[in-house]
Structure 1
Amino acid sequence: MVSKRPTGVLWDVGNVIVRWDPRTLYSKIFPDSAERERFLAEVCTPAWHIEHDRGRPMAEGVALLAAQFPEHAETIAAWNDRWWEMFSGPVAETTGAIEALAARGVPQFGLTNMSVETAPGTFAMDPAFRHLAVIVVSGEHGLIKPDPRLFALALERIGRPAESLLFVDDSAANIESAAAMGFATHHFADPAALRPALEAHGLL
C-alpha cells in the first residue's frame, strides 16, 4: 500500500492502450517464423526503430537501413509503407479503465515513445484518448523513455508532481525510471491486472 495515494494516471500508449507489434505485419511478409525473427533481430531492430521515436523521420531511417541492407530494401520499406498493419486495435481492459476513471473525474495524461509522424493516427484508434488532457510524444522532444529528462518534461507539461500520478507502462526499464522519480507505478504485463491495481491505489 502506498503511503500517499496518486490522484491521476499517466499512461504509456503502445501495448498499454493500443496493441503494436512489428510481427503483426512481418508475419505476412515472412511466413517462416525463424526467418521473420532473424530479420527483426538483425535488420529492422529495436535499436534502429527507437531513433524514429527520438525524432528521426521514418523515411530517413528506412533509406539509411536500405543502403546498409539493399537485399532487404523492399521489406525494410514496408516498415514505413505498411506501418498501420503492425497494430491490432485497442486493449479493451485499458479502454474500459480510462472511461471509468474519466467518469470519476480522475485526471489522465499520456507519455509515449512515438514518432511524431505516427502519433495522430495512433490517437485516432481509440476514442478513449480524448480523456488524456496532455500527451507527451517523445519524437517532439528528442528524448525517449526511460530518460528521466523526458519524465521531467512531462511533469512540467502536466503541471503535477510525480507523487500525484500513477504511471502505467509495459516496459520494466521505464517503470524503474519512473519509480526512482517518485511516481507510483504499475507494470502493465497482464491486462486483467490493471483494474485491481487502479482500485488498490484508490483511483477506482
Structure 2
Amino acid sequence: MKTIDTIIFDLGGVLIDWNPEYVFLKAFNGNNEKMRWFLDNICTMHWNENQDAGYPIKQATKDLVNQYPEYKNYIEMYYGQWEQMLGGEFSGTVNILKALIEEKKYKIIALTNWSNETFPIAQKRFDFLQWFEGIVVSGDEKTRKPYKDIFNITLNRFNIKAENSIFIDDNIRNIEASNNLGFNGIHFKSPEKLIQQLTPYNIHL
C-alpha cells in the first residue's frame, strides 16, 4: 500500500458550488435553451479558463464584446455579477476536509483553476479556505490545470511527491493529467463516494 502524506483538493465543484447558470438562467428569464446556447457559444468555459490562467478580466470582457457586440450586456454580466455564481459550500466535502485536518497525518493543499481577480471574493466568504497549508491559484501562476506546469509548481512549492499524494478533482481531464504525472487521482462525484474512494489508501472517515 502506498504511503499517503499529502491530500490535494480542487475547490470549485468539490468544496465550492460555482455555476454561471445561477446568473444566466435569471438573465434569460428562465429560458434554459437560450442560456445554454449563450454559455456554450459566447461566454464559454474555455473563455473563462483563460481568465483562470491569469488573463485580465477587463480585457477579456472587452475582447468578447468587440467580437459579439449584440451580447454586450450579457457578456458584461458574467464578471459583473460573478459573485452571484457562488452558490455556497458543499458541506459534506467540507466535513471530510475538516476530518482529514483533525487527523494531523496529512499535508492538506488546494489546487484550483481560479482567476486571481475573483479568488479574494471566495476567500472572504468561505472560512474553510484558511484551513489549508497552502493554496495554488492558477491565476497567480499564469497557468492552469490540466497543464503539467501547475502540478509541478504545487509539488515543488510544498516539497511533496506525486506518488505520495492524492489529488481530488471533479474534472476527469484534470484527474487524467495528474495520473500521468504519478499522482493518485480521485475523480470526485459526491462526498459519500469520496469517503469510499479514500478507503483503498487506508483513510477511513
Gaps of 5+ in 1: none
| 1:70 maps onto 2:83 in alignment | no
Partner of 1:8: 6
C-alpha contact 2:170 2:187 (8 A) present in aligned 1: yes
C-alpha contact 1:17 1:94 (8 A) present in aligned 2: yes
Deviation at 1:124, TM superposition (A): 2.9
Aligned pair in 2 of structure 1 residues 125, 198: CA closer, same or farther (>3 Å)? farther
Partner of 2:128: 128
Deviation at 1:196, TM superposition (A): 2.1
For 1:154, the aligned partner's letter is T
Task: Work out the CA distance in 1 between the residues paired with 2:153 and 2:112.
Answer: 12
Task: Work out the CA distance in 2 between the residues paired with 1:131 and 1:85.
Answer: 24
Task: Work out the CA distance in 1 between the residues paired with 2:160 and 2:151.
Answer: 11
C-alpha contact 2:53 2:141 (8 A) present in aligned 1: yes
For 1:34, the aligned partner's letter is E
Partner of 2:161: 161
Paired residues for 1:39-118 under 5 Å: 39-105=38-104, 106-118=106-118
Aligned pair in 2 of structure 1 residues 203, 120: CA closer, same or farther (>3 Å)? farther
Task: Work out the CA distance in 2 between the residues paired with 1:203 and 1:108.
Answer: 14
Cα deviation digits, residues 31-65 of structure 1 (max 9, x gap): 21111111111110112111101101111111110
Task: Work out the CA distance in 2 between the residues paired with 1:202 and 1:179.
Answer: 19
Partner of 1:141: 141
Task: Work out the CA distance in 1 between the residues paired with 2:125 and 2:101.
Answer: 18
Task: Work out the CA distance in 2 between the residues paired with 1:126 and 1:196.
Answer: 26
Gaps of 5+ in 2: none
C-alpha contact 1:134 1:157 (8 A) present in aligned 2: no
Cα deviation digits, residues 151-192 of structure 1 (max 9, x gap): 011111111111121100001110011111111111002232
- SS of 1:132 mapped into structure 2: coil
Task: Work out the CA distance in 2 between the residues paired with 1:65 and 1:59.
Answer: 10
- SS of 1:14 mapped into structure 2: coil
C-alpha contact 2:109 2:134 (8 A) present in aligned 1: yes
Cα RMSD after superposing both structures: 1.2
Task: Work out the CA distance in 2 between the residues paired with 1:80 and 1:126.
Answer: 19
Task: Work out the CA distance in 1 between the residues paired with 2:201 and 2:125.
Answer: 28
C-alpha contact 1:20 1:88 (8 A) present in aligned 2: yes
- SS of 2:125 mapped into structure 1: coil
For 1:147, the aligned partner's letter is Y
- SS of 1:102 mapped into structure 2: helix
Could you tell me the percent identity over the aligned residues?
29
| 1:26 maps onto 2:24 in alignment | yes
C-alpha contact 1:111 1:154 (8 A) present in aligned 2: yes
